Structure formats: structure tokens, C-alpha cells
Amino acid sequence: MPVSTRSQRPNESNSEHPHDALKGKMKALLALYEEHKKKSVAAAPKNPSFGSSREKNGRRILVFVRVRPLAKKETEAGARCCVRIVDRRDVYLTEFAAEKDYLRLKRLRGRHFTFDASFPDSASQQEVYSATTSELVEAVLQGRNGSVFCYGATGAGKTYTMLGTVESPGVMVLAIKDLFSKIRIRSCDGNHAVHLSYLEVYNETVRDLLSPGRHLVLREDKQGIVAAGLTKYRAYSTDEVMALLQQGNRNRTTEPTRANETSSRSHAILQVLVEYRVRDAAMNIINKMGKLSLIDLAGSERALATDQRSIRSLEGANINRSLLALSSCINALVEGKKHIPYRNSKLTQLLKDSLGGSCNTVMIANISPSNLSFGENQNTLHWADRAKEIRTKGYSANEDALPVPQTETDQVKLVLDLQKENRELRMQLAKQHQKLVTLQARSLAPPTPPSATSLLSTPPTSAPPNEKRRTRPSFLAATHFTPETKNKGEDVAVRIRTLQQRVKTLEAELDRVKKDHSLQLKQKDDVIRELSKKGGKKVAAAGAILLKETNTEEVKSPSHRFRSPVPTAKKRSFWDITTANSPSVTTLNGRKTRSYVISELTAHPSKLIQPGFARKKGDV
Ligand SMILES: Nc1ncnc2c1ncn2[C@@H]1O[C@H](COP(=O)(O)OP(=O)(O)OP(=O)(O)O)[C@@H](O)[C@H]1O
């Protein structure tokens, strides 16, 4: 109703001045906006970091879902998209009525799931890697174990996610690249050693993919379940790891099934072990270790989806059996049962650490968007939803002592602390150097016992005599040279020899101190450089001062340690290798593998032949 407000006074009751109306509207709009903002914040995918999921009674397994694009075959078969991802977190699965089911034609049934993050078919490999695995790689470098496994029906995109193609490398490849670049940033003097092993579980037998031939036996030892005799390769560079990965993939068992032309018929586990040394508070060197397990499971499948013939049916039965064992373990873990039936299959024995140990675990559930795969998708999402409730134990006991800064203030504080420690170390070094110079001068001068006494008993420092000094044990306190106790008439030549010996010892000690110091400076500078990158301007400024200081030191870059050994022939990089559509080959035992051996290459056998990656997108 139009109201004339002209004659009304603004403070009159029931009157509404145009300004008031406007104000009211503004208020309502603001309230609406605030409400919307709150809702969208609540709906936005929470950062599924391990920090946030770290709780008293262990950490929850992080579960992600990835939808692959609709395949050409599916489109041709008239498939419709039945998966919708909202806010990168919620997955809506729609069940369409059958075309001829006229009564229910318009009736849609659906299910809704929420995960730590969900990736639509447009998500890139890098996006998936960054959200799911990059934190695990960082944690492995701090002595924690991490596992990533892909779960889903056959043809849902597990191998694509894990291995990828040469053009779009998957999680395994990106993790290894990231691991090496992180090591290069933080390592000093080849401090990190990377070992690699790659195995498959095929028909309930464990095989070494890097050295095929024998069946391996699983044993439980201090480190958990291990495959006895599994080859462990020491790797020095990303290229080397890629070559090993390709070698392993060529040996992996694959078969065309009705659902997927290169279906993985085995579960593959790539383990990357990182060993490194750190100093504890008492400056003792301690060894640490972090393990990253990257697992590409074979596809769960309906009997009809694959050929029901001979070997295939046996493979299918074994795959389903091990996946069933996996779901029993998930159930038992979720229900908090005391007995977890890990022993029911080789796969669950190998996954024991990832599911119930001290491990950061990530599950990536792969689904197809096709309504023809509704049943499989529902099944996958059901287990993924269940897995969300699994909690693994706390971090491993050998967790790194380096504090992880939470806020900018923490970072600034850490930088300042490190600067202070750095200054102290520099002072110590200067003092040691001064001592050496004095001793050298002393050795050249004619020996006069009383002055030698004063020299050696009083450290040459400008600090006041009563100043509290560091308690670092010094060789100067050694008892075997005490000039006061010597006779004045002692042979001068003997004294000089002794003194020269002391100088030698002192030089050796100084060398050691210098090395230690350089090592510590480098480690701290690396940390500061990293923090400066992460942190705000304050950190950058503080870091810059320190870097400036550090640059005056002669600290050798350790990066050379991570280069591959000098190649004898021109070494092809992983990226140079072509992926011609070579056919799979059959191995001696009759099973097919991902071997793509080109005839030209077989004439010159090399470690760096074709990668056994998943088929390209166009081949879907
Ligand atoms: N995100 C994706 N983008 C493009 N193509 C994809 C994607 N995911 C899967 N594909 C393609 O879908 C096909 C099947 O994928 P893949 O072989 O990875 O399935 P899988 O789950 O490993 O199957 P199986 O369990 O039978 O081994 C492949 O051709 C692959 O290239």
C-alpha cells in the first residue's frame, strides 16, 4: 500500500520515513547476506588437512571421491550422468527409472553422501594430488607413515588416478616428484636416503614387480607386515624412480575385461621409504624413517561385468575375496572390534598398517558417472562412507621434533629463535677459531711453561671471566697436557712436539665443529627459507636478514648429492619416453602384464623402456 510520509513526522509511531524504509530494507538485505555467508562457509569444503583431523584418539581416514568422465562406449550405450557433485564435497547419486517402466518414469531415487572432498570429472591430476596426497608426502619427511589407496569398481579410474598417463601423471608420479623436490630443499649432505619397492597381490600370491619371478612370503616383524625378500632399490632422483615404476608396471598383471580393456587384475603397492638423520636436543644424531604406501587396488566387479571364463573367473573371485576381506576389516574397525580379520587375505595383511597402524591414510573412491554403473557406484560410496569412520593410531613415535608453526606469530617467533641460535653458533665458531689461532702462534713462539699454562687454562675470549659459558665439553679440558705439572727443565723439543700434536688435534676438532655448524646453519636456513615462503611479510623480512647473514658463510649446496650417478650413455628422461600403443605381452606363466615392449627396444634391452601407464583419455 503506498503510504505518503510527507505529512508525518519521522518519530511518529506507525509512520515510515523513506529513509527508514530504505534502512529497513538494507538491514534485511544485510541479514540475508550474513545468513548466506554463514551457510556457504559451512558448506565450503573444509581443508581436509591431517592437522585438523588429528585428535586425541587417533586420526580419521580421509576419504575423497573422484568421478571420471563419461566414456565414449557409455555415451553410445545411451548412458546418462547419475552423479552430481555440489560444493566439492557432496555427492548426489540419482537412480533413474528404467525407460520402459512407465509407472515410475518420473520417479527419481537418490542418495546423498558427504566426503572430505569430491572431485568432478573436470578435476585435474594435480588438483587431486594436492588435495589428497601432498600433505602425506610432507609428513613422511617428518618421520610419519602415509598411505593412499584407490578403491572402486572396475573401469572407475583407479589406475588413472594412481598412475595416470605420460601427459597427465597420477598420484604416484606426482608424489615422487614432490618428494624429491622437497628433499632437495631440506636435505644437507645427502642426509635423506630414498628406497623403493613395488609389489602386486595377484590371485592371493605376492609378487615382486621390480624383480619378478618368485612368490614372496609375508612375515610380521617390528616394522609390521613385510614381504620377505622384496627388492628395495635405493633411488637418487625422480627419473630413476620413474624408470623403476615403469619397469614395475610392465610386470603388472592386466587383462581386458568387458568392463575395462586394460583392467588391473592385481592390487599394486608402491612403497617409498625415506630415511634421514637429525640431531636431538643433546646434539646426538638419530635416525628417522617415514614410509609412503601408494596402492592401486584391483577393481571390485560383478561377475557379469567380467568374463566368466576360466582364469578370469578365478581372478575375479580372488579380487572380490580380497576386497570382501577389506570390507570386513573396515567394518570391524568402524565397530571398534578387538579382532580385526587382517589375516583373511594377503591384501588386508599388507594394508594392516594403513588401516589400523600409526599412519596417515587417504582413500580415494573412484566412481563412474554412468547410470549404468549405479549399483557399483552405490556400493563404492557405501564403503567409502563407512571408511570415513575408521581411525588410525596417533603419529609414529619417531615424530620429528621440529615444531609446525600454526600462526604467523608462531612463524615469526620460530624465525627469531632460529636467528638467535644461529648467532650463538657463529660465536662458538669464532671462539674456537680464535683458540686455534692462539695455539698456532703459541707453537711458533719459544716455549715458556708458565705462559703456556696461562694460555691453555684461560680460553682466549673477550668475555668477562665470570661470564657463564656454554657447557659444551672441550678437548682443551683434556688432562694429558698440564704444563704446571711438568718440570721446568723438561726438554724443549719434546714440549714443542706435544704442542704441535695438540694443534693437530685442535685443527681436527675445529674442522668437525665447522662441519657441524655448516650443517646446522644449512638446516635452519632451509627451514627459514620455507617458512619465509609460507609466512607473511614479517617472516619474509626476518628470513631475508638471516639469509643475508648466512650467505656470508661458505655453505656448500648439497644438491649435487641428489643427482643421478654420472650416466655412461645418454640417459633418457621419463618424459622422453613415448607411449606408442604397443600391445600387452603375455609372460611365461600365461598371464598378461602391462608390458609395452617395442621390438626395436627389445633388441637393446634397457631399464627405461615403455611406461606401463593407464590408457589415454581418448581411449576411454
Ligand atoms: N579422470 C579421468 N579422466 C580421463 N580419463 C579417465 C579418468 N579416469 C579414468 N579414465 C579413463 O577410464 C578408463 C578406465 O580407467 P582405469 O583403467 O584407471 O580404471 P580402473 O578403475 O583402474 O579399472 P580396473 O580396476 O579394471 O583396473 C581408462 O581408459 C582411463 O584412461
Report pLDDT digits (tens) over 461-518: 333 334 333 323 332 233 333 344 344 445 666 666 777 777 777 777 677 767 777 7
Q: Find the range with the poorest average confidence among 58-62, 244-248, 425-429.
A: 425-429
Q: Tell whether residue 157 is among the known ligand binding residues.
A: yes
Q: How far is CA 97 from CA 81, 84, 373, 374, 447, in A?
A: 13, 17, 14, 11, 104
Q: Which of 611, 546, 545 is nearest to 581 (CA)?
A: 611
Question: Ligand 1 in contact with 170 (CB < 6 A)?
Answer: no
As a whole-number percent, the residues of the chain with pLDDT over 90 amount to 18
Question: Ligand 1 in contact with 615 (CB < 6 A)?
Answer: yes
Task: Specify the ligand 1 atom closest to the Cα of 299.
Answer: 25
582 class by beta-carbon count within 10 Å (0-12 exposed, 13-18 middle, 19+ buried): middle
Amino acid (1-letter code) at residue 161: T
Task: Specify the ligand 1 atom closest to the Cα of 366.
Answer: 21
Report pLDDT digits (tens) over 149-167: 899 988 899 999 999 988 9
pLDDT at 592: 54
Q: Tell whether residue 154 is among the known ligand binding residues.
A: yes
Handedness of CA 586, 592, 593, 599 (dihedral sign): positive
- Nearest CA, atom 29, ligand 1: 620
Q: Tell whether residue 152 is among the known ligand binding residues.
A: yes
Which of 66, 68, 127, 162 should be mutated for ligand 1, with most atoms under 8 A from CB?
68
Instruction: Find the 204 Cα to ligand 1 centroid distance in Å.
Output: 24
Average pLDDT, the chain: 69
Q: Tell whether residue 156 is among the known ligand binding residues.
A: yes
Please give the residue that has the higher pLDDT: either 6 or 175. Answer: 175
- Nearest CA, atom 15, ligand 1: 157
Distance CA 68, CA 121 (A): 5
Question: Ligand 1 in contact with 159 (CB < 6 A)?
Answer: yes
Neighbours of 490 (CB within 10 A): 13
Handedness of CA 269, 270, 275, 280 (dihedral sign): negative
Which of 167, 315, 593, 620 should be mutated for ligand 1, with most atoms under 8 A from CB?
620
Question: Ligand 1 in contact with 366 (CB < 6 A)?
Answer: yes
Confidence of residue 605 (pLDDT cuts 50, 70, 90): very low
Q: Tell whether residue 159 is among the known ligand binding residues.
A: yes
Q: What is the CATH number of domain 54-392?
A: 3.40.850.10
CB 432 within 8 A of CB 513: yes
Question: Ligand 1 in contact with 260 (CB < 6 A)?
Answer: yes
- 194 contacts: CB under 8 Å, gap ≥ 6: 179, 180, 183, 234, 235, 236, 241, 272, 273, 274
Would you state the torsion angle of the CA atoms of residues 220, 254, 294, 44, taken in this order, to the nearest 10 degrees? -130
Q: How far is CA 268 from CA 62, 148, 204, in A?
A: 20, 12, 12
Half-sphere exposure at residue 310, Cβ-oriented, CA atoms within 13 angstroms? 4
- Nearest CA, atom 14, ligand 1: 155
Question: Ligand 1 in contact with 596 (CB < 6 A)?
Answer: no
Question: Ligand 1 in contact with 253 (CB < 6 A)?
Answer: no
Stretch 57-86: mean pLDDT, rounded? 88
CB 294 within 8 A of CB 272: yes
Report pLDDT digits (tens) over 29-61: 566 556 644 544 444 444 455 444 444 556 788
pLDDT at 131: 95
- Nearest CA, atom 1, ligand 1: 68
Alpha helices in 125-234 (DSSP H): 125-132, 134-140, 158-162, 171-186
Distance CA 435, CA 455 (A): 9
pLDDT at 388: 87
Report pLDDT digits (tens) over 465-476: 343 333 233 322
Instruction: Find the 260 Cα to ligand 1 centroid distance in Å.
Output: 8
pLDDT at 120: 95
Distance CA 221, CA 207 (A): 19
Question: Ligand 1 in contact with 620 (CB < 6 A)?
Answer: yes
Distance CA 88, CA 43 (A): 9
pLDDT at 484: 41
Confidence of residue 396 (pLDDT cuts 50, 70, 90): very low
Q: At what angle do helices 492-534 and 537-551 cross, to 10 degrees?
A: 150
Question: Ligand 1 in contact with 299 (CB < 6 A)?
Answer: yes
Stretch 106-117: mean pLDDT, rounded? 81
Question: Ligand 1 in contact with 148 (CB < 6 A)?
Answer: no
CA angle 236/207/348 to nearest 5° reads: 100
Question: Ligand 1 in contact with 297 (CB < 6 A)?
Answer: no
CB 405 within 8 A of CB 528: no
pLDDT at position 345 over 70: yes
Instruction: Find the 270 Cα to ligand 1 centroid distance in Å.
Output: 19
Q: At what angle do helices 125-132 and 171-186 cross, to 10 degrees?
A: 60
Distance CA 126, CA 174 (A): 8
Pick from 3-12, 225-234, 566-575 the range whose average pLDDT is largest.
Answer: 225-234
Q: How far is CA 437 from CA 36, 341, 358, 451, in A?
A: 72, 68, 52, 16
Amino acid (1-letter code) at residue 590: G
CB 344 within 8 A of CB 328: yes
Instruction: Find the 71 Cα to ligand 1 centroid distance in Å.
Output: 9
Neighbours of 155 (CB within 10 A): 28
Tell how strand 54-55 and strand 58-60 pair up: antiparallel
Report pLDDT digits (tens) over 272-287: 999 988 877 788 888 8
Neighbours of 469 (CB within 10 A): 11
Task: Specify the ligand 1 atom closest to the Cα of 67.
Answer: 1
Report pLDDT digits (tens) over 102-111: 555 555 678 8
Instruction: Find the 158 Cα to ligand 1 centroid distance in Å.
Output: 6
Q: Tell whether residue 243 is among the known ligand binding residues.
A: no
pLDDT at 150: 93
Q: What are phi and psi of 486, to 5 degrees?
A: -80, 155
Q: Find the range with the poorest average confidence among 61-70, 215-224, 236-245, 542-551.
A: 542-551
Task: Specify the ligand 1 atom closest to the Cα of 298.
Answer: 25
Report pLDDT digits (tens) over 301-325: 654 444 445 555 666 666 677 888 8
Question: Ligand 1 in contact with 377 (CB < 6 A)?
Answer: no
Please state the ipTM of this predicted complex: 0.98
pLDDT at position 364 over 90: yes
**3-state SS track over 26-52:** HHHHHHHHHHHHHHHHHHCCCCCCCCC
